[in-house]
Each structure stands twice: as structure tokens, then as C-alpha cells.
Structure 1
Amino acid sequence: MAVQWEKEMMDLLGENGFVLDSTTRSKLSKDYYWYSPVLDQKLKDKLAEGIVIPVNEEEVAATLACAYRHRIPVTVRGGGTGNYGQAVPLTGGVVMALHKMNQILEIGDGYARVQCGVKLGVLEKELRANGHELCIYPSTYMKATVGGFVSGGSGGIGSISWGNLWDGNVLAAVVYTMEEEPRKLTVSGEELLNYIHSYGTTGIVTELTLRTAKRTEWMQTIVQFDNLTSAMLFSEKLCLDPAIHKRLVSTVEWPIPSYFLPFAQHIEEGSAAVLLETEEGTLPALTSYASENGGQVKHVIPADKYHQTLGLSDFTWNHTTLWAIKADPKLTYLQSAFSPTFYLKQIDDIKQKYPDGVYLHFEWVLSGGKLMPAALPVVCYQSEEHLYEMIDFFESVGVRINDPHTFVLNYGSRASYERMLGAKQANDPRVLLNPGKMNVKPIFGE
């Protein structure tokens, strides 16, 4: 027998907008948290009591008001491609799935304004058809939504030139608060830091304006090296050359290239590889740089095949981890930032401590305008204790870790955590938005 809040939700949204069947609830209560064996154990049994599927902002506001009255937790969901349990309901309640709010509202010079449920792959295709392209997007772009990326991601393809989400790539947002009468906020500037990578804990983002760039014709290249050091020096030199327009510079040591089954035949056993997206016409310069560092170009996908076939970006960022786990389910990963000046010493320290079981994977990015060798190392999982011993060692040699094995937001974010806490208190006084993802309690006696 339905309880009162369920009856009200059904009246508001109808059978298509409020779903209670167990199959849908199970499917939409999960994301890709299983990349982490730690999160897999903690989150695999979590389940929403209902799924809310609004089709417009009015239904979003009505749902939030109803949930507020009945003290029902609301966990927002985009495409469900996050890796930290961002979209997993820790305390039941409802999952608000926003995939039907998927209209591209406006494309202008240097920006695109869209509803939160637009898939990034759809937006990229539309932009390129009109002479533009996304500045940054994740490797999961075919499934990931704009809202999910902004609320749960950080960077991706394009970050080597355009930085991360915090680096001016989000221009504006429309956000709804979780109150008796939800407020509609139009947010820009510094205030955006309260909502980027906040997991929907500070408000429900329904519309976003993203920075875009002029369309470039991208060639994809695999460059092979005998060792990781040579591959890293090549990558850094390439990144620092402003004459070579870049969208992706991804550096991996062996055995990671062996996991990339569709392209493994192009990479010799024991080799390090660099996966690139650079502007059409840059092959001579790449070949020269590779030769200077003892490498060679092994495979080229011409620009006219870009996004037409399986691309190299499908093997970078956290897709690298996915291919590794497919090859060996005992593998997992870390997220880290190496020093831009002494990363080779850090690599040496780590390889001496862990000659086996740590396989290095770097994504070169501009972070706050500075070139950084960001890393998503693939590691062999033995136990949670061993994993955190490994994290402690990385940090002891100056490698900053953003822990991907916790669902709790922390100070690792580029956004101001204190500011996010302030927005949480102002917008969600009963702590009903994705509860458990921030360490906060209800205020004002709520």
C-alpha cells in the first residue's frame, strides 16, 4: 500500500514520472562505483524507494517541495557514469533522474546553453555540425550528461588546452534549492564554485551554459617508446609547444597498452605509449619530437575519421581503468597529481617501492593555467589497508591524492569546500539533497 508521499509524487508526476518497480529502482540507484572494490562493498546494496523522472523545471520544483514536506532524501542522477557513488542513494528516498530534460536551448559564439540531461556526445555532434566543439568532456561522453559531468566530474579530453571545469569552462547554471518553496537560482562567476563537482548536494542543476571553442580537425596518433621516462619527456615537450594544438595527451606504461585490445597490435610488448589528439597537419612535428626522444609513431587515425570510428579517447582518462579492469578484475586505480618539476623523481620513488602492481597512467592537463602531469595509476588491489598504505606512500613523495575510494566530498576539490558548506546550509537546511556525501547536519532545528 502506497504511503502518503508516494501518492503525492504519483499525483504530481504520473506513472511515467514516478517509478516504483524494483528493476528500474535497482538500475538507477547505481553508477560506476564498482571501479573501486572499497566502494563496491559499501554501495552495492543501496537502493532508492522510488525514481522521479521530471520533464521540466516545474516538475523538479514540485518534486523538491513534496520531498521537503515529507523529509524524503533526493539524490540527483545524470547518465550514471560517475565513479564515486555520486548518484547512489545512501539513505533511500528518491533518485531524481534528469535524462528527459535534454534540450539544446542555444548555441552561440563561444557558448552552448543546454538542459542538464543533454548527453555530451549529442552536444558535441551538434556543435561540430555548426563549426564549434566542446572545450572539455569526459571519456564517457557518449553516455554522460552535461549536468552529471558538471556536478560529478572535473576534467577530460580538452583539459590539456582548456583546463578543468573550474577554469572558466562553466559560464552559468540554473539551480533549484531544497526548501518548502524551492528557489530558482541563476548562478555565474565565483558562485559557480558552489555547484561544480558538488554531487548535487548544494542544489539541483537544471540548466548549464558551457564555454565552447571553434571546431578543429583532430588527428589521432599512437606514439611508442621503449620506456616511460622517454614517453613522459616527449609528452611534456609536446605539451609545452604552443604551435601544436592539442586536445589529448595521455601517457601509459606497459602493461597498460596491452589492455587496449582494439589497438594493442600497434604497440610492441614492453613499450610505453602516448595517445594523442592533435590538429590535422601536425604529424611531421610529432614524428620529429618522437624521434628526438627515441620514439616512433605507430598508428594514425586521420582527421576525417574523428568521432566516426572507435577513437583513442575511448582508452584514456577513466576509460583506461575500465579496460584494465576488463583485463584483470583485481585491478583498481588512484587519482593523483604529480609535481610538474620533479615528476621523474616521484616516478622513480614509486617504481622502487612498487616494482610490480603499480602501472602509471598520466593525463596532461592545464590546471589553473599550469601544466600538470595528472595521473590515474592502475594498481593491484590486495586489501583496503594495503590500498591506503599505498596512498600514504604516494603522498610521502609529494604526490597529491584525490581519493577515488570514498563517496564523501572533501578538501581535494578545486572548489572551496567551505563555500560549498555555506551553500549547502542555505539551500538544503534539512540535509535532504544526496545526504551522506557531505559531513553536515540539519540546521535551525530542522
Structure 2
Amino acid sequence: MAIGWEKEMLDVLGETQVLLDRESRDKLSKDYFWYSPVLDRQLKEKVADGIVVPLNEEDVAKALAFAYKHKLPVTVRGAGTGNYGQAVPLFGGIVLDLSKLDSIVEVGDGYARVQCGVRLGALEKHLREQGQELRIYPSTFMKATVGGFVCGGSGGIGSITWGNLWDGNVLEAVVMTMEEQPRRLVVTGPDLLNYIHNYGTNGIVTELKIPISSRNEWMQTVVQFDRFEDAMLFAEALSKDDSVRKRLVCPVEWPIPSYFLPIVKHLKEGAAAVLLETVDGTLDAIEAHAASHNGSVGHIISPSQYRKTIGLSDFSWNHTTLWGLKTDPTITYLQAGFSPVLFMEQIKLVKDTFGDEVLLHFEWARNGGVVTPNALPIVRFTTEERLYEIIEFFESNGIKIFDPHTWVLNDGGRGEFGGMSKRKRENDPLGLLNPGKMNQQS
């Protein structure tokens, strides 16, 4: 029986929107932090005191005002597909599950306005039926929400053409503040940088306007190489070839392709693979690039099968790690930025030092307009001490690590934090929004 603030919350918000049972609180206090054995140890016992499931912005405002009155921490949640504990309540309180704010408000020529709980997979389907499509999305797009991606992600499929979230891929955000009377802010322009990848620490994003592009017919191709070095040079050449429109350029060294069980029969034993999504009609260009780098096309999924069968993007970005975990639950991963100029030398250093302890997986993308080799290497995990020795080696050799084994925004090296801290002080004066996830700066 609910007592105290729990009973008052039921009276204010209604029984259908407040979940207090242990099963719901356990389930909705978790995300995919278990990709990291470090976070798994630290976060698996964390649980909210209550779950609030708003149906509209008015409900969000009521929940925030209630939590402010009772000084309850509020942790926002989309679909819970994040990997860094973004949606895990460190200090109990309320988890605000925004998955019911799922209306597509407006689709125009080149943009979509949606509530934060719209699933990216559903939005992509809707857009393609109208002759348009998403510009970027994560490999978890069938489950992930637009708000969860913008507030907890960075880039994904499509980033090879359109860049990351910070590269003009958010046009407007509606943000609710955490005050006695929550304010509704409409954020545009440079101030958007303070709310992208913010983990809900300085405001609750309820609605977004994002740019979209015209629909393309996508061919999927696996190009195979005896040497990973050739795979990387091919991937670089193709990534920089603007005559080939693309959504995905994902090189992986063997044995990573052996983890991809649904398509492994199409893959060459022992070969490095580059997973591609390119526009229909680009096969000749791909074969020419492959031949000049000692590779060959090994598997093709025609555009007619796009979204009708498992796609190559289901093995890319952090789905690569997921398939690895299904084979070997002791592995984990890193997120790394290699030099666009020195990446081949850096790859040699890593392989000479760590061998199969570190398996290389890259995602070519544009960062600020520059084509760069981003990496999500798979690491055979033994101890936390060893993991951070590997991280130190990477960084001492000019390979930037975006640490996926911390829930603290600043420590993970993601986003712009001076402005975020200022906005947190303005929008969350009691520090109740997802506390513990941001080290505030003056």
C-alpha cells in the first residue's frame, strides 16, 4: 500500500501513470550498461522508488513539479538502449519513462517534428512511405526513441554522409525545466549543443525537430580481404569517394565476422570484412575500389530486400559488440577516435602490442565535415586495471578514447560541458535531474 509521497503521486498523476511494483521499477531502472563489466558491477543493484509514465507534456510538467516539491531525483528514460547507464537512477527517486510521448507531429519537406518517445524504426518506415528517410540513426533504431538517441547517443548509420548529432542533425528541441513551475523552452541554434547528449541532466527534452533526407534505394554489400590493412585502405577510399552515396562503411577484422551468425555462411573464413550500405547502382564503383585494394565482393543484399530481411547495419556500430557478447560474454569494448592521417600506423601499434586481446572494428564517419575512422574495438576483458592500461596505451599514442565504462558525461569525453553546466544551474536549481551524471563546472 502506497504511503507518503508515493500516495500523493498516485493522487496527482493517476494510477495508470505511476508504477510502484518492484518488477516495473527493476525493469525500467536498467539500460544496456551490461555491455561494460565495470558498469555492470556498479549499477546492477540501482533501482528507482517509482516510475512515472506521462502521456503528454502536461503530465511531464506535473511530474517535475511534484518531484521538485518533494526533492526527488528524476532520471529520464526513452527505450533504455543506451550503454553508459544514462537511464539508471543512481540515487533512487523517479524514473520518467517518456515512451508514451510517441506522436509524429509533422513531416515536411526535409524535416520531421516528433515527440521524444517516437521510435526511430517506426519513424523511418513512415518517412520512407512518404519518399523521405532518416539521415542518421543508431544500430538499435528499431527500439530506440528519437529523444533517447539525441540525448544519449552521438552518431550511427548515415554518419558517413551526414555527420554526428552535433553536425546540424538537430534543428529544434522543446525542453522542460526542473523547477517549482517547470518552464517550456524552445531551443534552437547554438544553444542546442547544451542539450544534445545531455542524459537529461539539465532539462527534459519532450519534442524534437530533425532534418531528414530524400528516400534512397540501398544496396548492402560485404567486401572481403585477406588483410585487415587492405580493408581499412579500401574503406578510406570509398568513404572519401563522394560519387558513391552511402549510409554505412564498417570494417571489421577476423574473427569478428564469425560472430555474425545469421550471415556467417556468406562470409569467407579468416577474412576481414567491410559492411556497406550504398545507393543502388554503385556496385561497379565498389568492385573497382575493392580490386585496387586486393579485395572482392562476397555478399550482396539487393535493394528489393531492404528492411525485409536482417540488414548489415544490424551487425554494425554497437550491434557488433552485441553479436560478440552472444559468442563470448567475457568481452567488452571501447570507443576510440583514430587519426584520419596516422590511423594505419596506430593500427599497427595496437595489433603489435595487444594481438587478439584487442579486435578492431571501425565505423567511418564525418566529424565536423572531416571523414574520420572511428573505432569500437572489442576487448577481451580480464580486469579493470588491464582495461585502463589498454586505454592509457591508446591515448598515449594519439588515439582518443571516449570511455564507455563511466556514467559521468565529462569523464566519457562526450559533448560540450561548460554550457551544459550553466544550463543545469539555470534549469535545475536543486540538482535533481539525473544527479551524479555530470561533474559541474563553474
Task: Give the structure-1-normalised TM-score.
Answer: 0.98
1:17-67 Cα deviation digits (max 9, x unpaired): 001011111100000000000000000000001000000000000100010
1:300-347 Cα deviation digits (max 9, x unpaired): 000111111100000000000000011101100000000000100000
Deviation at 1:15, TM superposition (A): 1.3
1:396-425 Cα deviation digits (max 9, x unpaired): 111000000000011655632100000111
1:112-147 Cα deviation digits (max 9, x unpaired): 000000000000000000010000000000000000
Alignment of 1:33-48 (within 5 A): 33-48=33-48
SS at match of 2:356: coil
Map of 1:74 onto structure 2: 74
Deviation at 1:4, TM superposition (A): 2.9
SS at match of 2:409: coil
Map of 1:376 onto structure 2: 376
Does the 8 Å contact 2:253/2:273 carry over to 1? yes
Counterpart AA for 2:244:
I
1:158-184 Cα deviation digits (max 9, x unpaired): 000000000000000000000011000
SS at match of 1:356: helix
Separation (CA, whole Å) in 2 of partners of 1:171 and 1:5:
38
Does the 8 Å contact 1:195/1:202 carry over to 2? yes
Alignment of 1:132-281 (within 5 A): 132-281=132-281
Separation (CA, whole Å) in 1 of partners of 2:411 and 2:28:
28
**1:211 and 1:414, CA in 2 relative to 1: closer, same or farther beyond 3 A?**
farther
Separation (CA, whole Å) in 1 of partners of 2:208 and 2:3:
35
Deviation at 1:429, TM superposition (A): 0.9
SS at match of 1:341: coil
Deviation at 1:288, TM superposition (A): 1.2
SS at match of 1:167: coil
**1:284 and 1:311, CA in 2 relative to 1: closer, same or farther beyond 3 A?**
same
Deviation at 1:91, TM superposition (A): 0.3
Map of 1:420 onto structure 2: 420
1:335-379 Cα deviation digits (max 9, x unpaired): 000000010000000111101210000000000000110000000
Task: Give the structure-2-normalised TM-score.
Answer: 0.99
Deviation at 1:3, TM superposition (A): 3.4
Counterpart AA for 2:255:
P
**1:120 and 1:370, CA in 2 relative to 1: closer, same or farther beyond 3 A?**
same
Map of 1:396 onto structure 2: 396
Separation (CA, whole Å) in 1 of partners of 2:16 and 2:361:
43
Does the 8 Å contact 1:339/1:399 carry over to 2? yes
Does the 8 Å contact 2:163/2:366 carry over to 1? yes
What runs of 5+ residues in structure 2 fail to find an aligned partner?
none
Does the 8 Å contact 1:218/1:279 carry over to 2? yes
Does the 8 Å contact 2:225/2:271 carry over to 1? yes
Separation (CA, whole Å) in 2 of partners of 1:314 and 1:363:
13
Map of 1:31 onto structure 2: 31
Map of 2:290 onto structure 1: 290
RMSD over aligned Cα atoms: 1.1
SS at match of 2:265: helix
Map of 2:351 onto structure 1: 351
Separation (CA, whole Å) in 1 of partners of 2:274 and 2:12:
52
Does the 8 Å contact 1:12/1:59 carry over to 2? no
Alignment of 1:83-94 (within 5 A): 83-94=83-94
Map of 2:310 onto structure 1: 310
What runs of 5+ residues in structure 1 fail to find an aligned partner?
none
Deviation at 1:267, TM superposition (A): 1.7
Does the 8 Å contact 1:166/1:414 carry over to 2? no
SS at match of 2:107: strand
Does the 8 Å contact 2:404/2:412 carry over to 1? no
Counterpart AA for 1:260:
F
Separation (CA, whole Å) in 2 of partners of 1:23 and 1:287:
52
1:253-284 Cα deviation digits (max 9, x unpaired): 01100000011112222110000000001011
Separation (CA, whole Å) in 2 of partners of 1:168 and 1:307:
26
